[in-house]
Structure 1
Amino acid sequence: MRLPNQLTTPSLFQQIQWVADPVGYMETAAQQYPDIFTGRIVGFGDTVVFLNHPQAIQELLTNDKKKFTAPGKFNSIGKPIFGNSSIAMLEGDSHKRRRQLLMPPFHGERMRSYGELICNLSTQVFSQLPIQQTFSTCVAMQDIALQVILKAIFGFYEGERYQKIKHLLASLLDVFQSPLTSSFLMFPVLQKDLGAWSIWGNFLRLRQQIDELLYTEIAERRQQFDPNRVDILSLMMSAVDADGQTLTDEELRNELITLMFASYETTAISMAWAFYWIHYKPEVREKLLKELDTLGDSPDPMSIFRLPYLTAVCHESLRIHPVLMLTLPRVVQEPVEVLGYPLPIGTVVAGCIYLTHRRQDLYPQPSEFKPERFLERQFSHYEFLPFGGGARRCIGEALAMFEMKLVIATILSQYQLALADHKPEQLQRRGVALGASRGIKMLITGRRVRQESPPIVAAASAS
């Protein structure tokens, strides 16, 4: 059976373009087939049907398991990093049980305890940046995100082990930062240990050193367990599933590494893009500052989190530059029809987040940054899905949004920033994510003093 709207470009060329220029690949295909097309890419199997229509994505993500399943094997490109027992690799009931076990630390009062930490780390990182000198916003956001991971997720604090693992994690996370190095994850044939100087050899040695530190930390925590600790590692260690089982040392290690990769690169890039657009569009910055000023000098983190225009700015940034390109692919289990096209058993299908966010019928003038669109209407989980969707939706979404809002609010309230230049940034592959090609260069022009502003400004923003 012929799959729908197959791209005619030779398979090898498609695979190379998918690795080197995924945005160009998707946009070119969507010009010809805006709702559904079939491509030949690496990472998720040879042939993948891309869905860009919300109705089709909803059917894919909410359908019963008899029609679509989401095998963990399609995260095989992450297997060398995450390991076999990570939630990213599990399937079916095993995945469901693990997700239920890991969800509590990312919600409710647990989140509140991280608010002050995030604000303080944001201030600390920016206080070390020189005035009137260009810096990479992506690097600054990575610094904040990494320290949030170390303290809120891992529970590490200042000391020799903290400094060592901070350096190792930063080095590991930067291994696959370009399209060239990302190809080592996409093409297993390249995964050869040719010594510490080689890309894959360097990765393996960094991974081994990090594993040694993590397993040592886990062993010490087990010997001297403190029930009062609120970091996510401690909470995961004390979590018990329905069968009374706790996570093994290997499972804890794998979940920590998965959370690190999921929350470091994606959160840092998302925050950097938000700063880019806030300063690329001066009217957005002014409106946002007026809303922030209504909270006073020492706002409660939860009050910041609930600000409507700040939320809209974050959502629009995630829409126009989603870090994730695709939902986790599903496999057809019985013959099914999507948008009028029959799909046979075994077909690999993925929702295309990037193209869905660029649909003219959903987001008029999709290339324009317009936060107001998120104040004027509410989008479904199949129209706006920066964290994926369905049962495989990112488990750290709540923490990522919390961190994004607090970092933006803290920095904007304290500093006057400007873009170093107004050359448009381009999307570029970073591992399985999309980053900014030039790092979003900015500079601090001075300190900022809060301006008194009447409360009606915030109310008007929410109308």
Structure 2
Amino acid sequence: MPLPYLLKTPSLLQKLQWVTDPVGYMEKASQQYPDIFTGKIIGFGDTVVFVNHPQAIQEILTNDRKKFTAVGAINSITQPLIGDYSIVTLEGDRHKRQRQLLMPSFHGERIQAYGQLICNLTEQIFSKLPLDKPFLARNLTQEISLRVILQTVFGLYEGERFQQFKHLLPLLMDVFRSPLTSISFFFSSLQKDLGAWSPWGKFLRDRQTIDELLYAEIAERRQQPDSECIDILSLLISSRDEAGQLMTEQELHDQLMVLILTGYETTASAMAWGLYWIHQKPLVREKLLQELDTLGDSPDPMSISRLPYLGAVCNETLRIHPVVMFSFPRVVQEPVELLGHSLEPGTVLLPNIYLTHQREDLYPQPKEFQPERFLKHQFSPYEFLPFGGGVRRCLGETLAIFQMKLVLATALSRYEFALVDQRPERPQRRGLTLAPAGGVKMVITGRRVRQEPLVNMTTTPVY
């Protein structure tokens, strides 16, 4: 049975473009087929059906584990980083068990406890920057994201192991620094250990060192549990499933690697994109600062997180440049019809976040950064889905949004920034994510003094 709208470009060219320029690949295809098309890419099997229509995405995500199920093919890409027992690589009941064990770590009360920590870290890191000296915003947001992970996930604030993780984790993630260095995760033939000087050999050695640190940390926590600790690792170590079983050392290791992978690269890129758009659009910056100024000189983190325009700015950032391009792949389990196309069992579907967020019928002028659209309209989970959906929706969503709001608010409230390069930033592949290719080059021009609000923002909108 023919697949829907099979692209005519030769298979090899499609695969190369998918690795080097995924945005260009998707946008060109969607110009011809805006709702659904079939491409030949790598990473999820040879042939994949891209689904870009909210109605079809809703059908896929609400029929998880019935008509559709998660694809194991993605395991071949992520396994070298996150192992065999992570919530990403497991399926069925084993996936459900791990998700239930992880969920309490991301409940609202626990997330709130990290608020002041995030604000303090942001101020500490930005305060070290000299005035009028260019810096790459993404490097800075990476440092903030890494420090947040070390403190919230591991409970590490200082010491030798803190320094080791702080040094090694960026080295491990450096394998994603460009499309060319990421390519080894898509071609198993390139995964050759040719010594420490080779890209894959260096990755394996960095990973082994981090594995040793992780297992040592887990072992010490097991031997000396502390009920007062609020970090995620402490909670996971004490968590039991419905049968009363604790997580094994390997399960703990693999879940920690997922939290590092999903919380480091993605959150750092989202915050860098936010800084870019806020300073690319002076009116957006002005409105946001007016809103922040209504909270006074020392706002508490929860008050910051509830600001409506700040929330809209973060949502529009995640819409126009979603850090993750697609939701978790699904495979058809039984003959189904999707958007008028018959699909056979075994067909791989890729719910496309990027193309859904670029639909003109959902988001008029989709290339324009317009936070107000999120104040005027509430989008469904199948129209706006930066963290995926269904049973594979990212568990760290609440912490990621919370961190993004607090970092942007803290930085903007205390410093004056300017973009160094007025040329548009373009998205570039970093592994499975999209990051600003130029890193968002900025300068701090001075300290900012809060302005007394001219209007009562609680009663008079400025939008």
Question: Which category describes the TM-score, using the shorter chain as reference length?
Answer: over 0.9
Structure-2 change in CA distance of 1:462 and 1:345 (3 Å): farther
Please tell me the residue identity of whatever aligns with 1:275: L
User: Which residues in structure 2 correspond to 1:212-223 (within 5 Å)?
Assistant: 212-223=212-223
TM-score calculated relative to the size of structure 2: 0.99
Match of 1:368 in 2: 368
Percent identity over paired residues: 65
In the alignment, is the contact (CA less than 8 A) between 2:136 and 2:442 conserved in 1? yes
Aligned to 1:300: 300
In the TM superposition, 1:18-29 aligns within 5 A as 18-29=18-29
Q: What TM-score do the two structures reach when normalised by structure 1? A: 0.99
| Contact preservation (8 Å) 1:48, 1:348 | yes
CA distances 1:257-288 after superposition (whole Å, capped 9, x unpaired): 11001010100000000000000000000100
Residue 58 in structure 1 maps to residue 58 in structure 2:
yes
Partner of 2:438: 438
CA distance in 2: counterparts of 1:223 and 1:351, whole angstroms: 44
Say whether the 8 Å CA contact 1:375–1:462 is kept in structure 2.
Answer: no
Confirm or deny that 1:316 pairs with 2:316.
yes
CA RMSD between the two structures: 1.0
In structure 2, the partner of 1:185 is 185
Contact 1:38–1:47 (CA<8 Å) still a contact in 2?
yes
Partner of 1:456: 456
Give the superposition deviation at 1:76: 2.2
**Structure 1 residues 16 and 64: CA distance shift in structure 2, 3 A:** closer
Shift of 1:458: 4.6
**How far apart, CA to CA, are the structure 2 residues paired with 1:459 and 1:285?**
20
Question: What is the aligned partner in structure 1 of residue 392 from structure 2?
Answer: 392
Shift of 1:112: 1.2
For 1:371 and 1:200, the matched residues in 2 are separated by 41
SS at 1:6 equivalent: coil
CA contact 1:134–1:442 (8 Å) conserved in 2 = yes
Q: 1:354 matched to which residue of 2?
A: 354
Deviations 1:133-181 (A, max 9, x none): 1000000000000000001111112111111111000111112210001
Tell me the distance in 1 between the aligned counterparts of 2:13 and 2:41. Answer: 9
Is residue 152 from structure 1 mapped to residue 148 from structure 2 by the alignment?
A: no
Contact map agreement 1:291 1:458 (CA 8 A) in 2? no
Which residue does 1:340 correspond to in 2?
340
Partner of 1:121: 121
Structure 2 CA distance, aligned partners of 1:340 and 1:249? 47
Kept in 2: contact 1:152–1:232 (CA 8 A): yes
Partners of 2:20 and 2:459 in 1: CA distance: 45
Residue segments in structure 2 that go unaligned for 5+ positions in a row:
none
- Read off the aligned partner of 2:445 and give its amino acid letter: T
The answer to whether the Cα contact below 8 Å between 1:47 and 1:348 also exists between their aligned partners in 2 is: yes
Helix, strand or coil at the partner of 2:385: coil
Give the SS at the match of 1:193: coil
Q: Contact (CA 8 Å) 2:142, 2:264: kept in 1 or not?
A: yes
Compute the displacement of 1:64 (Å): 4.9
Displacement after TM superposition at 1:454 (Å): 4.5
**Superposed structure 1 runs of 4+ greater than 3 Å apart:** 458-463
Aligned equivalents of 1:90 and 1:64: distance in 2? 14
Whether the 8 Å CA contact 1:333–1:346 is kept in 2: the answer is: yes
Which runs of 5 or more structure 1 residues have no equivalent in the other structure? Answer: none
> Which position in structure 1 is the counterpart of 2:331?
331
How many pairs are equivalent?
463
In the TM superposition, residue 300 of structure 1 has moved relative to its aligned partner by 1.0
Aligned to 1:15: 15
Q: Tell me whether 1:251 sits opposite 2:251 in the alignment.
A: yes
Trace 1:165-314 onto structure 2 (pairs within 5 A).
165-314=165-314
One-letter code of the match for 1:27?
A: E
Q: 1:65 to 1:45 in 2, by over 3 A?
A: same
Q: Give the 3-state SS of the residue equivalent to 2:381 in structure 1.
A: coil
Report the counterpart of residue 378 of structure 2 in structure 1.
378
Secondary structure class of the residue paired with 1:37: strand
Is the CA contact (8 Å cut-off) linking 2:71 and 2:348 kept in structure 1? Answer: no
C-alpha contact (below 8 Å) 2:172/2:207 kept by paired residues: yes
Alpha-carbon distance between aligned partners in 2 of 1:346 and 1:90, rounded to the nearest angstrom: 18
